[in-house]
Structure 1
């Protein structure tokens, strides 16, 4: 037994036959645990288990004295394979520790991938050259000299192309933007969806613009997403010179506030320009919403200006709002108000026709209506805002009323939004008071309709796990 233990091959054989399986089992468990956590180091452990450790075991066995006659070629081959695997494992481990585990926003996180790839490539070449020099006795000095001369020649031939690429890489390394940011340069405004060493891809809404990074590096651009204040969409509008500026400014702000996609962190603002012009500034949730918001604002402003008797673009004509159409509307709602047609015509002194565009808010929670609007054409959605969003209660149509709480002078709990272009007949509350005094049945009908809407509200809220607070029984 002592003779066997003293043999030079005994302990290497024990290490390989016993230590190798244990090491493989340990590496397998480590890889499985890292894979379950989603660690990016798991492939490195897998490479060590599947390749490096088995080759190391073979190298231990064939490197023993007497295993090969003379110098032997196979030990050198196995040593070369082992050296290559060591180089790959070490370089991947360093790359993981330095770059993959970098903190968000640190210089390692911003380091361009192309730079790290080039550094790895250089280290692999140097490692292979040193490995062949050490194992095979190769003369690597000539190889390095040839590589140096070749790199100089290629660099001179491609200096313009390489210069633009390098300038773009330095721009990426500086990281003045990141994926998802909105930038504006010249006539191009878009969202960054991809960044690589050669170009930046911008989603401009109707396609993708591929812009070389060197073009951005050599010029100027604006990062719309890096402003401390929300990005604001701006547009100028003109009104008639007789329109009071204070009323115009208030109208512009009110219309802007009700548009979806507007930032809640800052209120819209208006600046008065020369020649009865006003520039509105609308803060947005995202710079990409600019075109959508301005389109919705311009559309709604046309309707709101007509309702406020202001003259957008100096237009003083309104061929829709005519006395004849008003009389037809009064005849339409006369039965609802329990009025005879001739009595309804007397309301024309104070009643008025109004139009709303799709999406406009007619009634909002907490508002005390000063008039009741009867729908002549179009549809309205009544809903209640909750923490989970707007819960739809019912849909109103022709001859239905919006603003039932006007008579009671109480706040409503509902939000009314036009689902289509809407035509309404607006009757001020003082006019409704006179009608109710003359026809008490109208008051009972209004109360009955309000109670019906409250029941619908309770059912709609219960369907989504919400409930109507006690005492909140006044609906629009």
Structure 2
């Protein structure tokens, strides 16, 4: 018995016969536990169980057998295979430790995959060199020197081409933007739809602009999706006349900005005086995608609001040269339709004002007391009411020849609001002037009263239907 245990191969063989099944059983249970938890360590454990341990056992057995044959190379081949499997196991384990449980936003999550691939390549090259030297006895010193010199020569030759690529990869590692962010660069402005190791793809609205990472890394750009405040703000700078009162300008601009559909309802617009009759308007919008729409609508509506307020936007004349003639001409047609005489026309013309509104603007707010009656001379409007949930309900439309603000005479609150459905012009006649006309024309008073009752009935019916909901 002692002669058997004294053999050089006995204890290695015994450790394999007993130890290998036990280790395989333990690793099988460990792998099942990690797989159920979907752990990143399950893959390295599986590699260790299925390949590394069996290859180690095979190497030990072949090595014991071939010690009697100095010419045999099977042990070296087995050692080489075992060494490769060990390298794969180490790479898989390192990947699980460093990147398997990486948190969002951490440097491990941001590291570009090309850096990981380069690291793996370096480990494999070093491992192969160690195997050649340890297992096969090869002299790799000259090979290392040759590779080093060659790398320096190649690096100097391609540094101009490779440098920007490395700069782009470092930018991806920093991750100053993500997919879906809006960028404003020297070459394009739009939303990021794709990012890879070579370039960034930006949807400009007129096609996809492809910008190399190196261009962004060596230049400057603005990430419009990363703001310090609660929202992104669309801005515009407007210039008025130095004679325009700053308070009137500020109130007019703020009213326009607050009424924009793209404005976030929970945040307020801002107007800042910059000096030299310039004003900056800032409107909070949901995303940079709404910036263009909000800015264009702001500029469009501001022109109309400036005309109504008597302001000189960009030095423009706030009162058209044909203002008086326009008011007189339109009121004559309106008076004829209402059966009014020349005296009534003269009274209304003396006090009438020509007011222009952009499509979508509110001409008369709901639940307000009008101070004038407006006769529609161009465009069209919708009469709207608002339900309990704030939803807008249309109860009718008015066109050229119709009038709004009929409760101005009775000083009652208007049940319905009036919104322009197209660029609209009205001739506004104040309450005092209309009262004088009505006193001399009882027929007009009856018409206004009937209009008030009809509109109140339509508003009540619409609200009743809305409260009942779908049936």
Coarse TM-score class (shorter-chain normalised): 0.7 to 0.9
Q: TM-score, normalised on structure 2?
A: 0.73
Q: How far off its partner does 1:305 sit?
A: 2.8
Counterpart of 1:250 in structure 2 is 251
Q: How far off its partner does 1:156 sit?
A: 0.8
1:170–1:92 distance in 2 versus 1, CA, 3 Å: closer
Contact conserved, 1:375 with 1:401, CA < 8 A, in 2? yes
Residue from 429, 446, 457 that aligns with 1:451: 457
1:242–1:137 distance in 2 versus 1, CA, 3 Å: same
Q: How far apart, in 2, do the equivalents of 1:370 and 1:310 lie?
A: 21
Q: TM-score, normalised on structure 1?
A: 0.73
Q: How far off its partner does 1:157 sit?
A: 0.7
- SS of 2:260's equivalent in the other structure is coil
Whether 1:96 and 2:99 are equivalent positions in the alignment is: yes
Contact conserved, 2:59 with 2:78, CA < 8 A, in 1? yes
Counterpart of 1:325 in structure 2 is 330
Residues 88-139 of structure 1: per-residue CA shift (max 9 Å, x gap): 3123213314xx62353x4445544443443333234334443555555554
Q: How far off its partner does 1:152 sit?
A: 1.1
1:26–1:94 distance in 2 versus 1, CA, 3 Å: closer
What 5-or-longer segments of structure 2 have no aligned partner? 5-9, 67-71
Counterpart of 2:7 in structure 1 is none
Q: How far off its partner does 1:411 sit?
A: 5.8
Q: How far off its partner does 1:450 sit?
A: 1.6
Counterpart of 2:89 in structure 1 is 86
Whether 1:45 and 2:51 are equivalent positions in the alignment is: no
Residue from 11, 26, 31 that aligns with 2:35: 31
1:412–1:68 distance in 2 versus 1, CA, 3 Å: farther
Structure with the greater alpha carbon radius of gyration: 2
Counterpart of 1:154 in structure 2 is 154
1:279–1:16 distance in 2 versus 1, CA, 3 Å: same
Q: How far apart, in 2, do the equivalents of 1:187 and 1:81 lie?
A: 48
1:341–1:145 distance in 2 versus 1, CA, 3 Å: farther
Contact conserved, 2:263 with 2:283, CA < 8 A, in 1? yes
What 5-or-longer segments of structure 1 have no aligned partner? 466-476
Q: How far apart, in 2, do the equivalents of 1:238 and 1:400 lie?
A: 34
Q: How far off its partner does 1:245 sit?
A: 4.9
Whether 1:296 and 2:301 are equivalent positions in the alignment is: no
Q: How far apart, in 1, do the equivalents of 2:240 and 2:83 lie?
A: 80
Q: Which moved more, 1:57-66 or 1:357-366?
A: 57-66
Contact conserved, 1:253 with 1:270, CA < 8 A, in 2? no
Contact conserved, 1:385 with 1:415, CA < 8 A, in 2? no
Q: How far apart, in 2, do the equivalents of 1:280 and 1:149 lie?
A: 61
Within 5 Å, give how 1:57-456 maps onto structure 2: 58-59=54-55, 62-63=58-59, 65=61, 69-70=65-66, 72=74, 75-76=78-79, 78-80=81-83, 82-97=85-100, 101-104=102-105, 106-131=106-131, 133-134=133-134, 136-186=136-186, 188-226=188-226, 228=228, 230-239=232-241, 243-262=244-263, 265-271=267-273, 273-274=275-276, 277-285=277-285, 286-312=287-313, 313-315=315-317, 316-317=319-320, 319=322, 321-332=326-337, 334=338, 345=345, 347-364=348-365, 367-373=368-374, 375=376, 377-380=379-382, 382=384, 384=386, 390-398=391-399, 402-403=404-405, 406=408, 409=411, 416-430=418-432, 438=442, 439-440=445-446, 442-443=448-449, 445-456=451-462
Q: Which moved more, 1:413-422 or 1:294-303?
A: 413-422
Instruction: Tell me how large the CA RMSD over aligned residues is.
Output: 4.4
Q: How far off its partner does 1:453 sit?
A: 1.0
Contact conserved, 2:271 with 2:282, CA < 8 A, in 1? yes
Q: How far apart, in 2, do the equivalents of 1:414 and 1:23 lie?
A: 77
Q: How far apart, in 1, do the equivalents of 2:17 and 2:417 lie?
A: 83
Q: How far off its partner does 1:237 sit?
A: 3.2
Q: How far off its partner does 1:13 sit?
A: 5.7
- SS of 1:158's equivalent in the other structure is helix
- SS of 2:386's equivalent in the other structure is strand
Contact conserved, 1:329 with 1:425, CA < 8 A, in 2? no
1:173–1:402 distance in 2 versus 1, CA, 3 Å: farther
Q: How far off its partner does 1:318 sit?
A: 5.3
Q: Kindly tell me the number of residue pairs found equivalent between the two proteins.
A: 441
1:427–1:187 distance in 2 versus 1, CA, 3 Å: farther
Q: Which moved more, 1:126-135 or 1:150-159?
A: 126-135
